[in-house]
Amino acid sequence: MALDGSPASRVSGGPRPEAPSAAAAAAVDAINPGGERASGENFPVALRLLPTSRRGYLMAVYGFARTTDDIGDRAPPEQRIRLLDELEDDLRRLYAGPGPAGTAGPQTRVVQGLGPAVADCGIPMQPFLDLIQANRQDQVVSRYQGFEELRGYCRLSANPVGRIVLHVFGCFSERRAELSDSVCTALQLAEHWQDVAEDFRADRIYLPALDMKEYGCTEEDLSLATAPPQLRALIAFETDRAAVMLNAGAPLIGTLRGAARVAVAGYVAGGRAALAAISGAGHDVLRGAPKPRKQRLAAELLLAYARGR
């Protein structure tokens, strides 16, 4: 399993996958019946402000990402790898395009929903494969020794979304992708720091073990009702590190215009508001996941859009 963020897809090529059984397709769809989950995440912050066509493409991407995550988190553990494999096979059918008469196309709603965005925006397959691979990694990796290992995971679990967004708006470039990666990794880190208690209950710790040791934190500290001083200090450090990464990528906003600028400003604003919420809670992330206030979110969005960073 790649911890450095390098692609490690189950399938590297070969013939078009056979269509899944109706039961298999239904099982994938049943994990996220609506194809999306529109609350509690930073991803769809500015969707309501976007043109209908782009909003539809992004919601299709969001639905795929949410379904992939929900398979990795909510499906029966013994079925998760199989369902992720089925999802990858269905994605490959989408990219294989029309085959001989009678050849089945994608069978799951979330992959079918990606069709217009993939066709109209030229989105490559690899970012979607990376999202699936991140969830495979979650099944076998529950602890990270150092920060670079965690960044490698974010390259699979978060950065692909930003790259897909750039393709959706027709503004992808390697320089923009680098800035986007910094923003997306910071957003993923902010979510991890908000959800320390929830993740621990699921037997996952994203706080790097080396950082925990440096601050004198133990896994037992994560089981408490409130965060002890050493854990608060660690969360303050990790929050500041995420903020530095977010600010390093934020100039991406200034390279964009129109709806793309609104969308990316929304993502940056969501991250800043989330990090501010953690700080506002005194870095006690065990009482409950600190959530940003709507007023703070709106203010951050306006400021990021106007300043271009």
What is the pLDDT, as a whole number, of residue 50? 78
Residue 9 lies in a domain: no
Residue 174 lies in a domain: yes
If one counts the domains in the chain, the total is: 2
168 and 239 belong to one structural domain: yes
CATH of the domain at 218: 1.10.600.10
Contact status, residue 224 vs residue 288, Cβ threshold 8 Å? no
126 and 174 belong to one structural domain: no
110 and 166 belong to one structural domain: no
80 and 96 belong to one structural domain: yes
177 and 281 belong to one structural domain: yes
196 and 302 belong to one structural domain: yes
Q: Which domain holds residue 111?
A: 47-140
103 and 190 belong to one structural domain: no
Whole-Å CA distances, 184 to 27, 175, 242, 252, 272: 29, 14, 10, 12, 12
Q: What is the mean pLDDT of residues 195-223?
A: 97
Q: What is the mean pLDDT of residues 176-189?
A: 98
Residue 188 lies in a domain: yes
pLDDT in tens, 249-300: 999 999 999 999 999 999 999 999 999 999 999 999 999 999 999 999 999 9
Q: What angle do CA 14, 20, 25 make, to 5 degrees?
A: 130
285 and 165 belong to one structural domain: yes
Q: How far, rounded to the nearest angstrom, does the alpha carbon of residue 214 sit from its chain's CA centroid? A: 28
What is the pLDDT, as a whole number, of residue 249? 98
Sign of CA dihedral 271, 273, 279, 285: negative
Packing angle of the helix pair 147-157, 126-140 (nearest 10 deg): 130
What is the pLDDT, as a whole number, of residue 24? 55
pLDDT in tens, 224-261: 999 999 999 999 999 999 999 999 999 999 999 999 99
195 CB-contact burial (10 Å; exposed 0-12 / middle 13-18 / buried 19+):
middle
